[in-house]
Amino acid sequence: MAKNSFNTSTVHLTIFFVLAAILITLSFPSEGKFKYSFSEGKPWKYGLLTAPFDITVYKTDAEVSAEKDSIVKFVKPFYFSMDENVVSSATESLTEFYEREGRSANIPYACYDYLLKQLQSIYTDGIIPLGDYQNMEEKNISEIRLKSDNLAVTRLVKSFYTVRSAYETIIKKRPSHIGEEELKKLNVSNYLQHNVSYDKELSDKALNEHLSKVMLSVGVVQTGAKIIDRGEIVDLDAFRILSSLQKQTQERLGSTQYQASLILGEGILICVFMAAFFFYLFLFRPREFANRKNTIFMLLNITIICVITGFFSTDKGFFNAYIIPFAIPTIMIRTFIDSRTAMVTHSVIVLICSLMVPYPSEFILLQFAAGFTAIFGLKDLTERSQLFRCSFLVLLAYIITYVGIVLCDEGDITKLNWRMFVYFGINFIFLTFTYLLVYLVEKLFGFISGVSMVELSNVNTNPLLLELSEKAPGTHQHSMQVANLASSVALKIGADATLVRTGALYHDVGKLFQPEYFTENQMAGFNPLNQLSYVESAQIIINHVQKGIELAKQHRVPEQIIDFIRTHHGTGKVGYFYTMYKNEHPDEEIDDQLFSYQGPNPSTKEQAILMIADTVEAASKSLKEYTETNIRDLVNRLVDGKVEEGLLNDAPITLQELKVTKEVLIEKLMGMYHTRIAYPELRESKLN
């Protein structure tokens, strides 16, 4: 049954891993990316690059733009020839005005005749719109093509008038006998308008014909041909080829076939990374793998951060991949699981996300530096302020690593991109919210952090422990001693000392219901259990486990701590009453369940340590003489007894760790009871 259950659980977890891999693959940016960064005149910082396909080498944008600009200057714009209707309309209007009003206003005929001849002369040269004239001056266009029937004549722009220059010419060239005021009475400006207009269609056609002759490419690089190697300078020719490769790669990325191949490749790589994480848990963290809640929590960390990275994978102003706090999943898993799993998870996240970002090598270096700093900077989370300190260390790791990368690649501190420091700053701000996330994760997943355990261990602020210290001071003192012993052992064998210490403080809270029935709380000379049968006494002692569980749940103690209450006696027996009953009823078949705890047995290293420390501490008080030999015999007998009874079979604690456990307990008990070496007495010498 257990095997079938394990197989079913493995199948379910495999499905979760596959779903996570699919979701991450779908979150990859749809647009392709060119995986090399280069600049003209700078060394090539990657390995040997050969042409992956036949590359058409294009001129650079600057070269093409320069050629087109020269053509634009070379190609002369076309204008329609003089509009004769404009000339005749102007002269007729002048004549009508003079006949109608000029004679009555005593305007000399000479003025009229002069203006008429000037209009005919100016219109013969041509009047161009002022805007066109100014535009050609700005573009340094000195000539235009004036179209007449099927012919086009080249003329200087300066040979044409504008309405303003025509008016000024008429006024300035008048003979001395013609007064300016009399001439202006003829309303000179009313007869001036452009008679030469721009032929946009013909001009554009001529320009496009010349532009179409511009060669965009300068050759072809055959497949497999060398382009550039590490350390070589990106000169103009190499820059052309690399730019062409980038352009054509982007074009290929847009094809449906290429996109399908791209998604397939991304999916394969993601599956490889996720499979590596799967087998890491399966082979090296079987307890975490079997705990579906823990595995889903880790998968969510990987999936969420990868999906977010897929959205921010390309530079979108201040929305950049480097603002994403990749250290948060690392801190979370370090806090609730363990540091090695946090390191493996961080590596998987960074490797997957490096497939999405433009500069993967730089990204990997920065994120590995930040992630490992988060792991090493958060060895024990016992204070909320440690999260802020860790965030600051991560910020420093980003900055120092980035400066090192720039100096290594560019050799010039001025090449630092100030926006990167802004990204790191935003990242730091997000990291400071880890405090809230830790609290939310504790509530959603039922985890318990080091900070919470420290808070739970505070007798002055925790009502349950405070009540225990007041109503059952002997039990409280016993719990404190067990906590010290258990945490010392945990530190020595690499278990979670904070967790086992917290569990030890709560393991006997069930004795609050009837504290007087437990020897550590009894007054000298009175034991109420003496008034009861052995079976009744055993049931009262056994019942403190279940009462402790109920009491802890009422006070909302985390489930991980309640597990210590549940397992600290395992399925062991109440030895004293069982032995006494058996001695008095030697021929009777005894129901062992009447004297046995309900269990279960310890399933973690920390629970096993607590069981041993609890038994040893309680039994040590029965010693009549605290010598090293007595203490050593007691510890060895009790620990070996737990092993023989099979109470530690489900706990992942090795024989070597049990050996270390014994030595730590012996050392601590000798210190607690002030065992001293017996100094020899000095004998008086006998004088002969």
pLDDT surpasses 50 at 687: no
What CA–CA distance (Å, rounded) separates 280 from 604?
A: 19
DSSP letters spanning 385-427? HHHHHHHHHHHHHHHHHHHHHHHHHHS-GGG--HHHHHHHHHH
What CA–CA distance (Å, rounded) separates 610 from 506?
A: 11
**Cα-atom radius of gyration of the chain, to the nearest Å?**
46
CA–centroid distance for 666 within its chain: 48
Count of CB atoms within 10 A of residue 354's CB?
17
What is the pLDDT averaged over residues 451-465? 85
What CA–CA distance (Å, rounded) separates 392 from 389?
A: 5
In terms of C-beta density within 10 A (0-12 exposed, 13-18 middle, 19 or more buried), how is residue 665 classed?
A: buried
What CA–CA distance (Å, rounded) separates 641 from 645?
A: 6
Q: Which residue has the higher pLDDT, 249 or 171?
A: 171
What is the pLDDT averaged over residues 59-72? 70
DSSP letters spanning 177-195? TS-HHHHHTT-GGGG----
In terms of C-beta density within 10 A (0-12 exposed, 13-18 middle, 19 or more buried), how is residue 9 classed?
A: middle
Distances (CA, A) of 296 to 371, 391, 445: 21, 25, 10
Contact 414, 447 (CB under 8 A): no
Give the 3-state secondary structure of 329-389: HHHHHHHHCCHHHHHHHHHHHHHHHHCCCCCHHHHHHHHHHHHHHHHHCCCCCCCCHHHHH
Query: Half-sphere exposure of residue 340, counting CA atoms within 13 Å on the CB side?
Result: 6
Overall residue count recorded for the chain in this entry? 688
pLDDT surpasses 60 at 157: yes
Phi and psi, residue 487, nearest 5°:
-65, -35
Kindly state the percentage of the chain with pLDDT values over 70.
90
pLDDT surpasses 90 at 301: yes
Contact 415, 406 (CB under 8 A): yes
What is the pLDDT averaged over residues 14-25? 92
Give the 3-state secondary structure of 240-297: HHHHHHHHHHHHHHCCHHHHHHHHHHHHHHHHHHHHHHHHHHHHHCHHHHHCHHHHHH
- Condensed to tens digits (0 to 9), the pLDDT of residues 575-620 reads 888 788 888 888 788 887 888 899 899 999 999 999 999 999 999 9
pLDDT surpasses 90 at 327: yes
Report which listed range, 170-179, 529-538, 652-661, is most confident: 652-661
Give residue 317's pLDDT: 47
The tokens for 636 are: 């060895």
What is the pLDDT averaged over residues 267-275? 94
Give residue 688's pLDDT: 40
pLDDT surpasses 60 at 1: no
Global pTM exceeds 0.75:
no
The tokens for 203 are: 């001009």
Give residue 117's pLDDT: 87
Pick from 433, 400, 428: nearest CA to 324: 428
pLDDT surpasses 60 at 210: yes
For residue 688, give the 3-state DSSP assignment.
coil
Q: How confident is the model at residue 472 (pLDDT cuts 50, 70, 90)?
A: very high
**Nearby residues of 462 by Cβ (< 8 Å), 6 or more positions away:** 455, 456
What CA–CA distance (Å, rounded) separates 401 from 373?
A: 11
User: Is beta strand 143-148 parallel, antiparallel or unpaired with respect to 78-80?
Assistant: parallel
What is the pLDDT averaged over residues 424-446? 88
Q: Which residue has the higher pLDDT, 207 or 418?
A: 418
What CA–CA distance (Å, rounded) separates 432 from 221?
A: 52
- Condensed to tens digits (0 to 9), the pLDDT of residues 481-492 reads 999 999 999 999
Contact 96, 186 (CB under 8 A): no
Contact 584, 483 (CB under 8 A): no
- Condensed to tens digits (0 to 9), the pLDDT of residues 630-678 reads 999 999 999 999 999 999 999 989 999 999 999 999 999 988 876 555 5
What is the pLDDT averaged over residues 405-425? 86
Contact 214, 68 (CB under 8 A): yes
Give residue 127's pLDDT: 86
In terms of C-beta density within 10 A (0-12 exposed, 13-18 middle, 19 or more buried), how is residue 463 classed?
A: exposed
In terms of C-beta density within 10 A (0-12 exposed, 13-18 middle, 19 or more buried), how is residue 230 classed?
A: exposed
Report which listed range, 76-80, 170-174, 254-258, is most confident: 170-174
Which residue's structure tokens are 């420091």?
Answer: 421
pLDDT surpasses 50 at 373: yes
The tokens for 149 are: 């029937």
- Condensed to tens digits (0 to 9), the pLDDT of residues 544-585 reads 999 999 999 999 899 889 999 999 999 998 888 878 888 888
Q: Which residue has the higher pLDDT, 248 or 687?
A: 248
DSSP letters spanning 605-655? HHHHHHHHHHHHHHHHTT-SS--HHHHHHHHHHHHHHHHHHTTTTTS---H
Give residue 347's pLDDT: 96
Neighbour order of strands in the sheet with 78-80: 78-80, 143-148, 151-156
What CA–CA distance (Å, rounded) separates 366 from 424?
A: 11
Give residue 273's pLDDT: 95
User: Is beta strand 143-148 parallel, antiparallel or unpaired with respect to 217-221?
Assistant: unpaired
pLDDT surpasses 50 at 467: yes
In whole numbers, what is the pLDDT of the chain averaged over residues? 84
Count of CB atoms within 10 A of residue 688's CB?
3
Return the C-alpha torsion angle 197, 202, 206, 207, nearest 10: 60
What CA–CA distance (Å, rounded) separates 160 from 177?
A: 28
Contact 474, 518 (CB under 8 A): yes
What is the pLDDT averaged over residues 384-393? 85
Pick from 152, 87, 148: nearest CA to 118: 87
Q: How confident is the model at residue 365 (pLDDT cuts 50, 70, 90)?
A: very high
Q: How confident is the model at residue 111 (pLDDT cuts 50, 70, 90)?
A: confident
pLDDT surpasses 60 at 251: yes
Task: Tell me which amino acid residue 262 is.
Answer: L
What CA–CA distance (Å, rounded) separates 179 from 188?
A: 13
Peptide bond into 586 cis (omega under 30): no
For residue 30, give the 3-state DSSP assignment.
coil
pLDDT surpasses 80 at 45: no
Give residue 250's pLDDT: 72
pLDDT surpasses 80 at 102: no
For the chain, helix, strand, coil in percent to 5 are 65, 5, 30
> Hey, which residues does 78 pair with through a beta bridge?
145
